[in-house]
């Protein structure tokens, strides 16, 4: 069977829906369309996401507001934006993602945007000072796991987890676990 004769509309829809990266189209931070990868990444059904505020995917209101403010300032001067951040799945799990966005209306950046989201669980983010192991430990810390639980999940000793936790705290300039979680979720 050949797919060379498929109508452009069918190819465009297939390219969007079945792309191997999460794609989201938004208007004024409201989700208009998502593809299958977004459903898999965030655990929400397309029908439940479309029409909702993107706030649904952030760990906190403060995080949603701070990142929106950052985007707004950046997009006034450049049509593309990229960062790495924590976002939240439907089940409450916090995950580390790379978000890339492009405004389609330069004069009003949030009016119509296309975003891609990539789960960075097993990848080293280019802008992060944390090693891949430290990022994995950080992800577990944000999700409320103890050093013992983290060690079991990662196949390392709780003491090694503590060494990674100390390095994370030093690199992020925090003094306790509460500051660490706040810094990782809110203060990026």
Higher local confidence (pLDDT), 66 or 30: 30
Based on the fold, state whether residues 38 and 114 are members of the same structural domain.
yes
User: Which range of residues forms the domain containing residue 179?
Assistant: 132-185
**What is the C-alpha radius of gyration for the chain, rounded to an integer number of angstroms?**
19
Based on the fold, state whether residues 77 and 137 are members of the same structural domain.
no
Question: Do 54 and 29 touch, CB atoms closer than 8 A?
Answer: yes
Based on the fold, state whether residues 96 and 154 are members of the same structural domain.
no
Based on the fold, state whether residues 136 and 106 are members of the same structural domain.
no
Number of separate domains in the chain = 2
Q: What is the pTM of this model?
A: 0.67
Element counts in the chain: helices (H) and strands (E): 8, 5
Planar angle of CA 147, 128, 108, nearest 5 degrees: 125
| Residue 126 within any structural domain of the chain | no
| Residue 3 within any structural domain of the chain | no
For the chain, the maximum distance between any two Cα atoms, rounded to a whole number of angstroms, is 62
Based on the fold, state whether residues 144 and 74 are members of the same structural domain.
no
DSSP 79-112: SEEEEEEEEE-TTS-EEEEEEEEEES-TTSTTSS
Quote the percentage of the chain above a pLDDT of 90: 39
Q: What is the pLDDT of residues 111-169, one digit of tens each?
A: 999 999 999 875 544 335 778 788 888 888 877 788 999 999 889 999 999 999 888 88
Residue 115: the pLDDT is 96
**CATH code of the domain containing 181:** 1.10.10.10
Identify the domain boundary among 119, 147, 169: 119
The Cα 109–Cα 79 span in angstroms is 8
């Amino acid at each position: 069977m050949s797919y060379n004769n498929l109508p452009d509309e069918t190819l465009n829809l297939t390219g969007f829906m079945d792309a191997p990266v999460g794609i989201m189209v938004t208007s004024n931070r409201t989700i208009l369309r998502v593809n299958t990868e977004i459903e898999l990444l965030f655990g929400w059904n397309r029908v439940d996401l479309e029409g909702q505020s993107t706030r649904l995917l952030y760990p906190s209101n403060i995080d949603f507001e701070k990142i929106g403010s950052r985007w707004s300032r950046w997009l006034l001067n450049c049509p593309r934006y990229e960062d790495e951040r924590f976002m939240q799945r439907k089940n409450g799990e916090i995950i580390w993602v790379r978000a890339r966005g492009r405004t389609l209306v330069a004069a009003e950046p949030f009016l119509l945007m296309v975003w891609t989201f990539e789960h960075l669980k097993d990848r080293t983010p280019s802008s992060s000072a944390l090693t891949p192991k430290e990022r994995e430990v950080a992800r577990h810390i944000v999700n409320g796991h103890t050093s013992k639980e983290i060690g079991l999940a990662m196949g390392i000793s709780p003491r090694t987890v503590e060494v990674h936790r100390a390095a994370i705290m030093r690199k992020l300039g925090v003094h306790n676990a509460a500051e660490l979680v706040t810094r990782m979720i809110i203060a990026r």
